[in-house]
Structure 1
Amino acid sequence: MNVHGDPLEDVLALVGTASSLSAGLVAGGDWAVAFAAAPAVKFNAVRRGNCLLLAGDVVYALAPGDCFLLTRPIEFVLASDLTLPTVPAGVVFAGADVARAGTGDDVYLIGGRFDFGERAGALLLDALPAVVHVPGASDAASAMRWALEQIEAELRGHPLGSALVTEHLALVMLIHALRLHLSAAPPESGWMAGLADPIAGPALRAMHAEPARAWTVADLAVLATVSRSALAARFKRVVGQAPLDYLTRWRIELAAARLRRGDDTVALIAREVGYGSESALSNAFKRITGHSPRAYRSSLDR
């Protein structure tokens, strides 16, 4: 039996993660650039030099190799000195392949955005802080540094297919950044907190590996090597839901994604996400979402 599901991979696939790279920023001397709030998840990585980030009311000192993600639409400032007057990013980046601020080139950043589907907030972003700062100096960040080096090489040389390559490399960077953040500061509750838990984690991975399987709490407890009552209590405390409630909600997320992205019949989707009949899926779907699968699909066409 395969019990090595990857909930992070599943969620990123489900929410339709896409990335794009924007122009790099070269800066030096005295400089400060103000960025407007963006609906997408913004990221920047420092490839050379040091600078300061002001996001919300928190200041972060950024060093070479550092990366940050903004998971909410908030304004932010990048600067050599935060007391300096700022220049709007729209002015600095207008028509530039590589934007420039201040004088000199002792600082170089690359940046871009991640776009997600409609369920990203509930499934992923709401569990993360508004600013995810990932220091790049540690040994654990070596894979992220590699991805950033490759992105920089693609942006510098523009070989054939570079846009597609950088998009994929940015997703690699995102996964490594999330891994590092979750390792250093796991959320207190939710499925991401469960991943790091020695008891809830095996049960979570098993349900993601085989969501259509008729799991029981007893089955999951065997994988976690604890009693049924111990698994049920620990899972609910860490994840915030009972194990089978989590399974039901994940199946409904899978079914909803299938309804959004294709024209498979409700009966086929029901079988493939773990329900024995269309009516069984319809009842669960309406209980969780407030709509029947058919009504949900019809609403997408309006």
Structure 2
Amino acid sequence: MDALASLLDGPRARGAFLLRSVLTTPWSLRIADRAPLTLMYMVSNGGWVVPDGAPPVRLRPGDIAVVRGPAPYTVADDPATEPRIVIQPGQVSTTPQGEELCEEMDLGVRTWGDRTDGEEEQPDSAVLISGTYQMHGEISGRLLTALPQVLVLPGDAWSSPLPALLCDEIVRDQPGQEVVLDRLLDLLLIAVLRAWFSRPETGTPAWYAAQSDPVVGPALGLLHEGPAHPWTVAELAARTGVSRAALGRRFTELVGEPPMSYLTGWRLALAADLLREPDATIAAVARKVGYGSPFALSAAFKRVRGVSPQQYREAAGREAAAAAS
């Protein structure tokens, strides 16, 4: 498993919130749902993403934006348009004064908008498809911090059948459709990030660029594929066909930290995600991520993160409850 695949395993869609919005100019949505990651496909008429305290970013028809949360932001036909709708945690839509709007804006299967004339869509309507990842995961943290707050992949910068397929599937109401949409959203996110990272002007993160190195790439793959294995630099070096010194030097140069430090961070990120599962014991988590005992995991976890696994689990539960409320 390569580094990107491992990191994307964190934000994998499970019951993701997908919606097709049909909006009449002037329109403006204040997004305050605290979601960690949202993907938006601008189907028609264009708009702007306006992060708080940052310059607005243009969205033309065919463009795809990936917005990193949980900070609020605005999506509008024009940066100057005042928000008329607020998307709250739990994907509840309200007026800026707090009055709920969900029922009156319902336009059918996963479709929502502000048309009041009996027609779902007019030539002046902006159509926006959004997919919101609602999971907060530690593995995805390394990925999310590598992204700008707003990433826009221009529609003319790549070619993929996935956006059109998502447009077709989002309005279907068939058995198993939520799973189909989750997987489509995952595929689209992976395709967009690969296309984004391949662009020289985007500042590719070190861990992603290092995958193409003939020595460090295989070493990263080994660590991600088998985090529970008792790795040493010597074994990694032997498996990649270089000396210990050569591997350590090249790994640190390209990734930004030594192999064993990277492995520790990866193991603890995995542990943090697993600790969010209510049925996972600390002992079971320790075994899955390469620690010989719950005590060893707890010591490493507290040393790096400042809290015990149990304290982390309790805090994560409170965070999830707050995000859902």
* Structure-2-length-normalised TM-score: 0.73
**Counterpart in the other structure of 1:230:** 246
Correspondent of 1:110 among 111, 129, 134: 129
**Counterpart in the other structure of 1:119:** 138
One-letter amino acid of the structure 1 residue matched with residue 5 of structure 2: E
One-letter amino acid of the structure 1 residue matched with residue 105 of structure 2: G
Given that residues 63 and 153 in structure 2 are in contact (C-alpha distance below 8 angstroms), is that contact kept between their aligned partners in structure 1?
yes
**Counterpart in the other structure of 1:76:** 74
Correspondent of 1:218 among 234, 243, 247: 234
- Change in Cα spacing, 1:248 to 1:176, as seen in structure 2 (3 Å) is same
| Higher alpha-carbon deviation: 172-181 or 190-199 | 190-199
| Higher alpha-carbon deviation: 101-110 or 111-120 | 101-110
After superposition, residues 25-64 of structure 1 pair within 5 angstroms as 25-27=22-24, 31-40=26-35, 41-55=37-51, 57-64=54-61
**Counterpart in the other structure of 2:287:** 271
Deviations 1:235-286 (A, max 9, x none): 2233332111111221222233333315455444433322344443343333
One-letter amino acid of the structure 2 residue matched with residue 249 of structure 1: G
After superposition, residues 90-169 of structure 1 pair within 5 angstroms as 90=86, 95-97=105-107, 98-100=112-114, 104-105=123-124, 107-119=126-138, 122-139=141-158, 141-142=159-160, 146-169=161-184
Task: Tell me the secondary structure at the aligned position of residue 137 of structure 1.
Answer: helix
* 1:20 to 2:17 alignment: yes
- Change in Cα spacing, 1:121 to 1:175, as seen in structure 2 (3 Å) is closer
- Shift of the alpha carbon at 1:71? 0.4
Identity across the alignment (%): 32
Given that residues 186 and 193 in structure 1 are in contact (C-alpha distance below 8 angstroms), is that contact kept between their aligned partners in structure 2?
no
| Higher alpha-carbon deviation: 228-237 or 289-298 | 289-298
Given that residues 127 and 190 in structure 1 are in contact (C-alpha distance below 8 angstroms), is that contact kept between their aligned partners in structure 2?
no
Given that residues 188 and 238 in structure 1 are in contact (C-alpha distance below 8 angstroms), is that contact kept between their aligned partners in structure 2?
no
One-letter amino acid of the structure 2 residue matched with residue 173 of structure 1: L
**Structure with the bigger percentage of helix:** 1
Q: CA RMSD in A?
A: 3.4
Correspondent of 2:272 among 253, 256, 275: 256
Q: Report how many aligned residue pairs link the two structures.
A: 290
Could you tell me which runs of 5 or more consecutive residues in structure 1 were left unpaired when the two chains were aligned. none
- Change in Cα spacing, 1:118 to 1:52, as seen in structure 2 (3 Å) is closer
Deviations 1:42-97 (A, max 9, x none): 33202234444444543444333211011032423432x556x4452345976233
Given that residues 21 and 129 in structure 2 are in contact (C-alpha distance below 8 angstroms), is that contact kept between their aligned partners in structure 1?
yes
Correspondent of 1:173 among 179, 188, 203: 188
- Shift of the alpha carbon at 1:203? 1.6
